[in-house]
Structure 1
């Protein structure tokens, strides 16, 4: 045994499944070092001896592979018996403390191979390497090795095995490595039978004649039609029972450029390995309005798997790619599940035999004046860990369960947060089953043993009841977090605001959440931090007549606000087909008409007055989204809101709107002036708190801040003040769990 002085180096972060070990192997050989590297539950472990160890250690972070994220490089002196050269050793241990890598879009090298007739992977729908391909969607456990994925049953052929074993090959230890000789296979199926022939060509032929296809992707099935064909789009809407909700589109870069206005920042986001759906302004060649009725933007994504690239190449068309499910339910992920649930929608299926380990919706993002903003965390982002702000390094393990809408789970461990994938509305039984499965899945995969559980304070939220039951059963501390405090903390954490960074003025505008006083909030300016908050300013409450019905029938909000402003007669004229007198009786008696300061319902009220789907939404947020699209074409000075004490009262705007409509003013200008007036009212309140020294900055959170116009106008009003906005964590309820977890952790560390 010849002992040598060296170093033991621990690398933490997103460092498994990204070609990190071969990168270290190449780096060590280049620098003439000896030793070994391996994966284990904490990340990557390196033992190395030889020449310039300082330079080697510095290069680990500076030259890391593109999909890697190095959070820490820790080293210590170490004496060991090194091999003659540098080796890649077998993975060790069970459990997980390292970052799990999200699925990544097809890299240029793999794309070139599937388009090269001379390559053995020509036309192969499952090509991948260490730079791209499935990761989280096929992962069953850690360390990340083939045996722990849904590729375990596909034995490698000699050619793939040689690539896998060669440290100089980009497929070295690429766990899903496969080819037509040994990997998953693709087929097209009709009426329960496989159709002979090239499945991609068969699929393209059916799409050209207007068929609806169910296509198995990375995180589940999509329903697909040719987006240029109005009849096919209408057929899909009819079958899916989705009358107006926008459809996501997929196309190549040339196709997207023909149909959308795309900025440099938007191209960068589209081309990112996360491959999200990006909301893009309509421009150029028109597509059927039925793709997104009443909206000025379409959600586009580039093809992100070899299968999708092949299909786009074969069709040359923009394709609708909407989740394969009945509206309100999770998408299908298994072949039998899809056959059972989607046969009434799809004329044919594009199937494959690689199992999906977990359901992952497509992510949705947009670019604002402040940069990119995640609207829905899904495939490509999940489960990428988020670093915690300064002061949370010693935080205990926490699990937080979010809200009722846009369900998501968050885990804190080892100074990082794992904010899980979008789970949908937990009122749905299938979404609830997916939530429970995700809770078990994340706990097992990340070896999570929480000391604290956090949830929303609303007693009727399913996630909150689940938290209470688990806390009682395991005798864990339960922290109930006010809904809008969680929004505020989520924005702080997204911006790495230190735990002791001081209080901020949080403008929180959303649909609704249970307030600390027992009423329903949704339009607030809070003064707070991770530890506590005060409600300083709020939108004047109005009754939600009919309870949940007020969230889907905008006329109810319009009537309530007009009645408050003394304009009941105008409401009678605007909504003659609505049961106004019954609604007013319920409001007067306080029967199923709770008061709420919801900004989201105020958007609905304005939309209803302007004739935008007054009698009913086709999907959540439709009225507000169409109002934003209208306002994007408008201009003018903001309407004046009243302010008395802590209350912002919209009553004065209704007379102005009536006057403007009577004078024949363009409705887009009225929509703009509402946005501008709302922005000025809330930004003014927050500005006062910063200028007085009570607050160090302004934080903007809540689902209303997914409205890019509102965000821009509020930022304009705030001027040069320090402002925190959401980027990686959704501003909507999909980010609640992150905020809840931070509040629970902060409470344990005081």
Structure 2
């Protein structure tokens, strides 16, 4: 039969492959419904690459069907690719959902966990329904996904719901193509699904309705551990000062703010200023913690978020959360179920063992969590969502890169805020937030994440990327345990590469000026970098400027004691010993001064984070810190955002490398404060001066090289005031400015940058 005859055929049969996030999101029932609507016959099923379809019917109907696959896809679906081939017509009756094919390479995408949809929420609070107040209600549009998936394809036997056999009523819904639970894998009800129970700190059961009893305990000031989607939270009444202080003491979390869950957007607006974009992010199906500016009249206890003008708020994202916040009637602290520096507890036994000294009771259930996943944290900047911690609701959705990876890559990330990344094709799959690799439990979570993602996405890496720091646990794993060819990637180059990938610039050899400001990164010269100007592509970089390197007295101790950096930056300055920061430290300041006068070896650093520490100590913001970045956060909080002027900052040229005079900037801060300027004004002038210095340095580099694009990366640029001032300065000078949105600017984005660097080097080698 010729081509013209085939086109004239009134009937057409097609084979279709759909790739993307198309499993666990109701895609097969969606296809089934489309086929019925257009009068088609055939079948749809899952395999390890996505969804496969055969459809036959009137030519016009088939064309409309193919268009609707993309245009009308389910809310949780992401259609990356639709491949269509024509097949010989063979007739048939009806359209069915076929059994899944578990053979072949696994390229389908597992969707992230999603907040309770409106339909399920209405059902949760409908006293006439059989799922009234059932804390595990879900459907194809919402509920657990990544945290319960053991393997693909995404079918019930491959999830932690495998042990729960469907009752007759749930089975009817599951098998009914017209029901919104058609082939919803976590479907269940009180007759056949998981059950909630309440136990005391020793694991003994407590009588009564668990939700009502938890609400009573919280109203009475107790600390309750609550099992969520990706692990345990520790909950208290956020308006109760005694309860918040008790939780802080038991958790050994001295200062870092707790996240707060509120029932509705109206409740969020009562506590914080919420614009339209922030409201949309709060209510998004991902339900992250959103960092918001607090209202002066906010009603949370002081111990919830001491010393900060911002508050992390989130809305309920599971049926249990909805039940609890409605029954308690007040905002709830909902913080990670761990002791500081440990990973979140996610198994029942581990929770009771590790949280028994913190929680007065445990709200547990028998649906296992397969992947522990912290809440995501975001902010907004210039109308864009900015990732601070990318985890629940976002992981494991891949970052689609502009260029393909010639060989599969495993990137092991950094030591702090660790994530791992597995990259193949054009997909870079970032893990959930793993945390700081400082204990055995976090290291176990690190290796589990690598193994789980490699299995889910069937990525067999041929090379492993790692940080240059030889003592990072992630480096040791890459070099000693992975069994792969290790490739070291400089920390700040990885930051810049991550920013390029975040902006779809990873497929170009175009150079950019990378400004990488953070706390700590191992430099190629053996010093601690952190205030870097790099002339970079994804494949290579040249260090063309940096903040002046200063001694770091005590090494890592100086990170925890910012006053030491003040002593370093002011070493040799007349009258420094009379400053308030020196008087507060007394003999310890003198000991550091003598150390700096001696010929003993002291690590040197160009870190922007340590510069912020020094200024924070000089202005009396923090002499010591209890968590990373605390002094810098406090300095930003102290700054007057209406102040527009700054200090002159010297920039020297040392053999072609530009050196920004950080010590001179600290002396300007001291002099300004000595003249009687208010700390808020001095803090603002410091921010403005540093931003101007970045602009001047980039302008000099641009004059020498012609490069007019600047990528801003590193954890210091989580500082919105510095980021805004720096971007303003650069844009006024005609630069194109790239910033982060899809992945964090902090070390949570390092693994993506490492993978991108290895991919770019591979492409360069092949060329």
Relative to the length of structure 1, the TM-score reads 0.96
Contact in 1 for aligned 2:651/2:697 (Cα 8 Å): no
Contact in 2 for aligned 1:634/1:668 (Cα 8 Å): no
The 10-residue stretch of structure 1 (675-684 or 87-96) with the greater mean CA deviation from structure 2: 87-96
1:551 counterpart (559, 572, 575): 559
Q: Relative to structure 1, is the Cα distance of residues 578 and 349 closer, same or farther in structure 2, using a 3 angstrom cutoff?
A: farther
Q: Relative to structure 1, is the Cα distance of residues 643 and 322 closer, same or farther in structure 2, using a 3 angstrom cutoff?
A: same
Contact in 1 for aligned 2:509/2:538 (Cα 8 Å): no
Contact in 2 for aligned 1:400/1:455 (Cα 8 Å): yes
Contact in 2 for aligned 1:642/1:651 (Cα 8 Å): no
Q: Relative to structure 1, is the Cα distance of residues 308 and 127 closer, same or farther in structure 2, using a 3 angstrom cutoff?
A: same
The 10-residue stretch of structure 1 (3-12 or 258-267) with the greater mean CA deviation from structure 2: 3-12
1:531 counterpart (532, 535, 539): 539
1:581 counterpart (590, 603, 627): 590
2:404 counterpart (393, 406, 428): 393
2:498 counterpart (472, 490, 510): 490
Distance across 2 between alignment mates of 1:179 and 1:119: 11
TM-superposed CA distance for 1:652, in Å, is: 2.9
Contact in 2 for aligned 1:638/1:673 (Cα 8 Å): yes
TM-superposed CA distance for 1:313, in Å, is: 0.6
Counterpart position of 2:603:
594
Counterpart position of 1:648:
660
Asked whether 1:37 is paired with 2:48, we answer no
Which residues in structure 2 correspond to 1:147-296 (within 5 Å)? Answer: 147-190=157-200, 191-253=202-264, 254-283=266-295, 284-296=297-309
Matched position secondary structure for 1:602? helix
Counterpart position of 1:508:
516
Distance across 2 between alignment mates of 1:451 and 1:186: 44
The CA RMSD over aligned residues, in Å, is 1.8
Contact in 2 for aligned 1:574/1:609 (Cα 8 Å): no
Contact in 2 for aligned 1:514/1:520 (Cα 8 Å): yes
Matched position secondary structure for 2:205? strand
TM-superposed CA distance for 1:31, in Å, is: 1.8
Q: Relative to structure 1, is the Cα distance of residues 394 and 516 closer, same or farther in structure 2, using a 3 angstrom cutoff?
A: closer
TM-superposed CA distance for 1:58, in Å, is: 2.3
Q: Relative to structure 1, is the Cα distance of residues 722 and 347 closer, same or farther in structure 2, using a 3 angstrom cutoff?
A: same
Matched position secondary structure for 1:530? coil
Distance across 2 between alignment mates of 1:305 and 1:674: 44
Distance across 1 between alignment mates of 2:282 and 2:141: 17
Asked whether 1:92 is paired with 2:106, we answer no
Contact in 1 for aligned 2:405/2:759 (Cα 8 Å): no
Distance across 1 between alignment mates of 2:589 and 2:165: 68
Distance across 2 between alignment mates of 1:136 and 1:518: 40
Distance across 2 between alignment mates of 1:672 and 1:82: 74
Distance across 1 between alignment mates of 2:612 and 2:386: 21
Distance across 1 between alignment mates of 2:474 and 2:92: 53
**Unaligned residue ranges in structure 1 (runs of 5+):** none
Matched position secondary structure for 1:618? coil
Contact in 2 for aligned 1:35/1:48 (Cα 8 Å): yes
Distance across 1 between alignment mates of 2:332 and 2:289: 13
Matched position secondary structure for 2:171? helix
Contact in 2 for aligned 1:35/1:85 (Cα 8 Å): yes
Matched position secondary structure for 1:189? strand
Contact in 2 for aligned 1:399/1:453 (Cα 8 Å): yes
Counterpart position of 2:676:
664
Contact in 1 for aligned 2:237/2:243 (Cα 8 Å): yes
Offset from partner CA, 1:195-231 (integer Å, 9 cap, x none): 2221111111111110000000010000100000100
The 10-residue stretch of structure 1 (283-292 or 500-509) with the greater mean CA deviation from structure 2: 283-292
TM-superposed CA distance for 1:566, in Å, is: 5.2
TM-superposed CA distance for 1:75, in Å, is: 1.7
1:727 counterpart (720, 741, 764): 741
Distance across 2 between alignment mates of 1:643 and 1:477: 41
Asked whether 1:685 is paired with 2:693, we answer no
Distance across 2 between alignment mates of 1:422 and 1:54: 43
Offset from partner CA, 1:64-105 (integer Å, 9 cap, x none): 111111111122222364531222111112462111100001
TM-superposed CA distance for 1:358, in Å, is: 1.2
Asked whether 1:740 is paired with 2:754, we answer yes
Distance across 2 between alignment mates of 1:126 and 1:463: 37
Matched position secondary structure for 2:571? helix
Asked whether 1:6 is paired with 2:39, we answer no
Counterpart position of 1:697:
709
2:638 counterpart (630, 641, 653): 630
Offset from partner CA, 1:269-315 (integer Å, 9 cap, x none): 11111110000111143322221111100101100000000001101
Contact in 1 for aligned 2:506/2:538 (Cα 8 Å): no
TM-superposed CA distance for 1:370, in Å, is: 5.0
Offset from partner CA, 1:591-638 (integer Å, 9 cap, x none): 462111000011111100011121x10211111111111115551402
Matched position secondary structure for 2:585? coil
Matched position secondary structure for 1:647? strand
Distance across 2 between alignment mates of 1:291 and 1:587: 39
Distance across 2 between alignment mates of 1:364 and 1:592: 40
Distance across 1 between alignment mates of 2:293 and 2:87: 57
- Across the two proteins, how many residue pairs are aligned to each other? 742
TM-superposed CA distance for 1:693, in Å, is: 5.6
Q: Relative to structure 1, is the Cα distance of residues 295 and 35 closer, same or farther in structure 2, using a 3 angstrom cutoff?
A: same
Relative to the length of structure 2, the TM-score reads 0.94
Distance across 2 between alignment mates of 1:565 and 1:109: 67
Contact in 1 for aligned 2:160/2:370 (Cα 8 Å): yes
Contact in 1 for aligned 2:494/2:754 (Cα 8 Å): yes
Contact in 1 for aligned 2:405/2:423 (Cα 8 Å): no
Matched position secondary structure for 2:690? helix
**Unaligned residue ranges in structure 2 (runs of 5+):** 1-9
Matched position secondary structure for 1:182? coil
2:55 counterpart (32, 48, 63): 48
TM-superposed CA distance for 1:47, in Å, is: 1.5
Which residues in structure 2 correspond to 1:439-518 (within 5 Å)? Answer: 439-470=450-481, 473=483, 476-500=484-508, 502-518=510-526
TM-superposed CA distance for 1:685, in Å, is: 1.9
Contact in 2 for aligned 1:455/1:467 (Cα 8 Å): yes
